[in-house]
Amino acid sequence: MKSIAIVGAGISGCVVARKLAERGCRVTVFEANANPGGLAEDRKVEDAYIPLWGPHIFRTSNKQVYKFINRFCKLSATTHRVRIYVDGSYVVFPPDSIKKPATMSIDYYASLKDILIDIVGPQIYCKYYEEYTQKKLGVDASYLAPQIISLIPLFNHKGRYFSEIIEGIPEVGYVTLFQNMLDHKMISTVYNLFVAARELHSFDYIIWSGRIDEYFDYCFGELFFASVRHEISQNWTWPISEKEEAVINFPQTNVPYIRATNYQALNSVPYIGLEYPLEGNLCAYPILTSKAVIKRNKYIEKAESIKDKVSFIGRQGRFEYSSMDRCVLNALKLGISLKF
């Protein structure tokens, strides 16, 4: 029977742990925090679950992903709608006016800025995207790789922010959802322990959802993340009357926070969440500058050369800006494809 070490109990680590346990592997999950959750960690406030780092809406169009999540908890349906506050007005975001181009070759562009201007035009770029990118990541969009375009909300989907078929929030919260996944006789968990790769030599195989640069002792240099601090307040008055719009983006630098969330609309609790960009040490958003992508590719190539011993998954393990459903899909694929 193979013994597997999984580093990190975020959504990626928990999904692959469950998949391998169900295949009969003995799995030990190591997590630096006191419980599973990672970036999706939440905490019970009154009768609802409020995310520690900012609103987390699970969305997917993938049946396999939905079926897997649904085994461990129900999702309470929600429809995510967003406004953006610019020059004194709260307007629908993304704007209805932007239409999907028929074709688009990313190779043609040098930066995220170039491709954004081409799609949304210079005016909307300046108003909605330029300051927002600088504020959120601390980097000008002209330094960011054009590939990031696929991760940026550009088109309005009949009033909806997301295009996926299913949108919801776990009724029991994310921490309980992940605990349910880890609740299997073949899975042991070790919390409050930040492990180093060298401590795991007794295992037959390692799955690493921590930072890939850290695993390799930063041999190609450090990969940088932007952090965020999420503050919960009851003293902030929600400024718009539309009850369904749970989130307002604040791209301009004259406001210190970048996003406000009305948890009354999302979770039925009277709290407002304010996200302050670039505060703290959370590995929240990979800063995918064109230089960082080259560095990341070197790490991924090195990872490929040891894939008979270690696999790298998740936001930190692949240094990619992934949504939760993508993490689930990748973790399921890995759990199925590993040959033991």
Tell me how far, at minimum, the Cβ of 85 lies from ligand FAD, in Å: 18
Query: What DSSP letter does each residue of 72-135 carry, written as one string?
Result: T-PEEE----EEEEETTEEEEES-TT----S---GGG-SSHHHHHHHHH-HHHIIIIIIHHHHH
Closer to ligand FAD by CB, 109 or 205: give it: 205
CA–CA separation, 268 and 286 (whole Å): 31
**Nearest approach, Cβ of residue 122 and ligand FAD (Å):** 28
* Cβ closest to ligand FAD, residue 117 vs residue 287: 287
* Alpha carbon 228 to its chain's center: 12
Spatial CA neighbour of 51 closest among 257, 229, 313: 229
Give the DSSP letter of residue 199.
G
Where along the sequence are the contacts to ligand FAD (CB under 6 A)?
Answer: 7-13, 30-33, 38-40, 53-57, 194-195, 209-210, 228, 283-284, 314-316, 322-325, 327
Measured from the CB atom, the residue of 33 and 290 that comes closer to ligand FAD is 33
Query: Cβ of residue 292: shortest distance to ligand FAD, in angstroms?
Result: 17
Supply the minimum distance, in Å, between the C-beta of residue 31 and ligand FAD. 5
Which is nearer to ligand FAD, 117 or 328 (by Cβ)? 328
Minimum distance, C-beta of residue 108 to ligand FAD, in the bound complex (Å): 28
Which residue lies nearer to ligand FAD by CB, 39 or 73? 39
Strand partners, 205: 4
Closer residue to ligand FAD in complex, CB, 108/194: 194
Whether 169 and 78 have beta carbons less than 8 Å apart is answered as yes
Closest alpha carbon to 125 in 111, 139, 135, 114: 114
Cα separation values, 274 from 162, 171, 232, 235, 236, Å = 21, 22, 6, 11, 9
Question: CA 250 to CA 135: how far, in whole Å?
Answer: 9
61: number of Cβ within 10 Å? 12
Looking at the Cβ atoms of 194 and 218, the one nearer to ligand FAD is 194
Phi, psi of 184 (to 5 degrees): -150, 145
CA separation for the pair 80, 78 (Å, rounded): 6
If one counts every other C-beta atom within 10 angstroms of the C-beta of residue 14, the result is 32
Shortest approach of ligand FAD to residue 87 CB, angstroms?
A: 25
Of the pair 54, 146, the CB lying nearest ligand FAD is at 54
